[in-house]
Structure 1
Amino acid sequence: MSTHLIKLFTQPEQSWTEIRKEEEQKPRNYLPHLIFLGLIPPFALFIGTTRVGWSLAENETVRLSADSALLLSAMVYGAILLGTALMGVFIRWMSRSFDARPTLNQCIGFAAYTATPLYVAGLAALYPSRWLAVAVLMAACAYSTFLLFVGLPTFMRRKQEQGFLFASCVWAVGLLLLVTILVSAILFWYNNLSPEYLRGPLGG
């Protein structure tokens, strides 16, 4: 897992070739990568919202209670796993239009590795800040897009031109799915689970 994590940022083309070989030899080889890296955003979110907090007014810090933060983190983790799995289903469904025949596990694995920058970007939640979150998320989305367009032709063994069109379709569906699932999870948590806020002096 750590080898691919580093290589996806330093040698993406070589990393995709190795990932494809491993996924052919060992179905579900992607699971440790998804399960453990997917824990980064919810873990950082829990620490950031309970220990650091955020400021909405001068000299006041707002935090979440441990129970509320735990529920939010659990929902975010569930959204990550569900979103990755659904993205794999969509990739497999779309692959038929491009004469590719990957297995469902291969498609979920491809989605998981493509989302690696988004998992790592979850570290930004350690310091809750709207502007920091937006900046880091945009950077992560940009690199995930790069991994998608570089990796899909190699992983699916399609010609570059065909791979570009396939990747464009995957990108559009992925963006819609990401926004829909995360926003739905947060709204459900906020409206139905009654989060408990703790207010105190800044730095207290």
Structure 2
Amino acid sequence: MALLQHAYGIMTRPSSQWVAVRRDKSSFTQVFIGHVPVLALIPSLCAFYGVTQVGWVVGGGEAIKLSTMSAASLCALTYVALLLGVFVLGEFINWMAKTYGVSDSDEVRHHAGTALAVCVTTPLFLAGIFALYPAIWLNALAMILAGVYSVYLVYEGIPIVMNIDKDRAFMYASSVITVGLVLMVTAMIATVLVWGLGVGPQYVD
């Protein structure tokens, strides 16, 4: 899957894209390395620009900005966390496959699990472009809409990519979403712990 073709397809014609994912013969490495490192740059770089050059306003005061070093370290950590998050989600999708009756080979399941993780997180990565203007309400709205679309993609994509009936696919998709929520909460807890170690934000006076 070429990166631009994949991103365009999953956002405009997901049904056809899922069929293409099912037929794709790329390896796990090709799918992950060919997509996630680039997609994860979108929210990381946009956030860096937004919090250092634009800033955000609270209560009608002056724009709040982060120092360059602080923003760079936080965005770098975010980038690594995004890579790990997609990888772990893909591994969980693969791990749960046999439980829900997926009969494909280990290699095919591994590719399918990774491809699903990449595709369903693509809207969230693309929504990261709104971090260029880090207004809290704007970014919250963008992430909510992207999250809703990602949930839709999970339910639509699993029966096609994993080649299972819709009843089992519904339970499988629900489990995938649960894992995604657990990963999100884990990331929040990790953020608090990292901030407690002194890697928290440093504001520009």
1:202 corresponds to = none
1:47 corresponds to = 49
Whole-angstrom CA distance in 2 between matches of 1:4 and 1:124 = 21
Helix, strand or coil: the match of 1:60? Answer: coil
| Structure 1 counterpart of 2:172, from 166, 177, 181 | 166
- TM-score (normalizing by structure 2): 0.89
- For the 8 Å contact 1:76–1:185, the answer to whether it is kept is no
Note closer, same or farther for the CA distance 1:70–1:4 as it changes in structure 2 (3 Å cut): same
- For the 8 Å contact 1:16–1:151, the answer to whether it is kept is yes
Deviating above 6 A after TM superposition, structure 1's stretches of 4 or more consecutive aligned residues are none
Note closer, same or farther for the CA distance 1:69–1:189 as it changes in structure 2 (3 Å cut): farther
Note closer, same or farther for the CA distance 1:124–1:161 as it changes in structure 2 (3 Å cut): same
Q: Identical aligned pairs, as a percentage?
A: 33
Helix, strand or coil: the match of 2:134? Answer: coil
1:96 corresponds to = 98
- Provide the aligned C-alpha RMSD in A: 1.7
Whole-angstrom CA distance in 2 between matches of 1:68 and 1:116 = 27
Task: Please list the CA deviations of residues 19-50 of structure 1 after superposition, one character each: whole Å capped at 9, or x if unmatched.
Answer: 2222x344433222211111111111100000
Helix, strand or coil: the match of 2:204? Answer: strand
- For the 8 Å contact 2:40–2:83, the answer to whether it is kept is yes
1:10-21 maps to which residues of 2 (within 5 A)?
A: 10-21=12-23
- For the 8 Å contact 1:124–1:136, the answer to whether it is kept is yes
Q: Which has the higher strand share?
A: 1
State whether structure 2 residue 191 is matched by structure 1 residue 186.
yes
Give 1:57 shift: 5.1
The aligned length equals 197
Give 1:96 shift: 1.6
1:39-78 maps to which residues of 2 (within 5 A)?
A: 39-56=41-58, 58-78=60-80
Query: Any stretches of 5+ residues in structure 1 without a counterpart?
Result: 200-204
Whole-angstrom CA distance in 2 between matches of 1:167 and 1:67 = 40
Whole-angstrom CA distance in 2 between matches of 1:194 and 1:73 = 11
- For the 8 Å contact 2:112–2:162, the answer to whether it is kept is no
* Greater mean alpha carbon deviation, residues 190-199 or residues 155-164: 190-199
Give 1:188 shift: 3.7
- TM-score (normalizing by structure 1): 0.89
Whole-angstrom CA distance in 2 between matches of 1:36 and 1:194 = 25
Whole-angstrom CA distance in 2 between matches of 1:33 and 1:15 = 15
Task: Please list the CA deviations of residues 53-88 of structure 1 after superposition, one character each: whole Å capped at 9, or x if unmatched.
Answer: 112354422111111001111111111111111111
Query: Any stretches of 5+ residues in structure 2 without a counterpart?
Result: none
